[in-house]
Structure 1
Amino acid sequence: DTGNKISRRSLIHGTQHIILGGKTVIQAEAVIRGDLYRSPTTAAAAAAAADAQQQQSQSQPSNQPSVAITIGRYSYVSRQAVLRPPSRIHRGMVIFYPLKIGDHVFVGERSVVEAAQVGNHVHIGRDVVVGPWRFSRIS
């Protein structure tokens, strides 16, 4: 047992792309968007990938990350908080990058976290918006 406590009333999307470090609490109505992750290939690169795949062995893993959100140990996500990975628009396509949250992090009620990384021992207050590509750290 990892000790994670997740409310049945929370909205967790794309659970296969979310990693919880243990002893993490996710309150009711919190939204975690694990479904927003970088897909292995784009439609434009599909033909080139098919040609390259014929030349390489099938056993090699993809170099694209499949984890959208990682939350460290002893972290707390309050009611109605939203965690979603940061994104960029590249050549007309939205590309998502991983969101990493450290250990002992508190996310307050109705806060939105779209940062690339939140360090250890960080307290994000109520109604705070942490914009894309921000790095929150404690030294």
Structure 2
Amino acid sequence: ASGNKVSRQTVLCGSQNIVLHGKVIVQSDAIIRGDLANVRTGRYCIISKNVVIRPPFKKFSKG
């Protein structure tokens, strides 16, 4: 078992694109938008209440 704790009130969009790398806590009413881009967390991350994890809107060109 990886030890992830995800609240039942969490909204996971595109869950096949979300990777939690162990001992991650996702609190209630958090939204993780895996439908827009791949989302990966490290170990021991805490995603607090009412947080939205999403990719950036702006695309930066190198240089």
The TM tier, using the shorter chain, reads 0.7 to 0.9
Instruction: Name the structure where helix makes up a greater proportion of residues.
Output: 1
CA RMSD of aligned residues (A): 1.5
Distance 1:20 1:77 in 2: 11
Offset, 1:22 = 0.3
User: 1:82 aligned to 2:52?
Assistant: yes
Cα deviation, 1:74-99, whole Å, max 9, x if unaligned, reads 0000000110011346xxxxxxxxxx
SS of match in other structure, 1:32:
strand
Distance 1:88 1:15 in 2: 23
Number of the residue aligned with 1:4? 4
Distance 1:22 1:32 in 2: 16
Greater RCO, 1 or 2 (C-alpha within 8 Å, sep 6+):
2
Distance 2:56 2:2 in 1: 27
Number of the residue aligned with 1:50? none
Unaligned regions of 5+ residues in structure 2, if any?
none
Distance 2:10 2:21 in 1: 18
Instruction: Give the TM-score normalised by structure 2.
Output: 0.87
Cα deviation, 1:84-132, whole Å, max 9, x if unaligned, reads 011346xxxxxxxxxxxxxxxxxxxxxxxxxxxxxxxxxxxxxxxxxxx
Instruction: Give the TM-score normalised by structure 1.
Output: 0.41
Unaligned regions of 5+ residues in structure 1, if any?
38-67, 90-132, 134-139
Offset, 1:35 = 0.5
After TM superposition, list the pairs within 5 Å mapping 1:92-111 onto structure 2. none
Q: Indicate the percent of aligned positions where both proteins have the same amino acid.
A: 43
SS of match in other structure, 1:16:
helix
Misfit runs of 4+, over 4 Å: none
Distance 2:11 2:2 in 1: 20
Tell me the number of residue pairs that the alignment of Structure 1 and Structure 2 aligns. 60
